[in-house]
Amino acid sequence: APVWPIVYFDGIVVHVRGANGRVSPHTIYVALGVNLEGRKELLGLWLGETEGAKFWLSVLTDPTVAGSTFINRCGPPSC
């Protein structure tokens, strides 16, 4: 299984125009892993309506992330 000693999580808020013409804020969630060679790998992108703990829990329990990662340190990219 792949190993990422460091994993960063972040949310980017974007404004999206819907089919009805209204603009509403949505969050693009990003998971970025740093492998043992020091290379950054995109682990996933998710689209949500708001950035919050409930959504992050769903990301962390997503089998594509939780089932194949080994995390020693995680946090926002500013850490």
**Residue 75 pLDDT more than 80?**
no
Mapped onto helix, strand or coil, the DSSP state of residue 26 is strand
- Could you identify the residue written with the tokens 């492998």? 35
Roughly how many angstroms between the first and final C-alpha of the chain, as a whole number?
26
User: What digits encode the pLDDT tens for the residues 35-63?
Assistant: 889 999 998 888 876 667 887 787 777 76
pTM of full prediction above 0.75 = no
Which among 67, 55, 5 is positioned nearest to 32, based on CA atoms? Answer: 5
The domain ranges of the chain are 6-75
Q: What is the pLDDT of residue 19?
A: 93
Q: Virtual CA dihedral for 69, 66, 72, 8, nearest 10 degrees?
A: 90
Rg (CA), the chain: 14
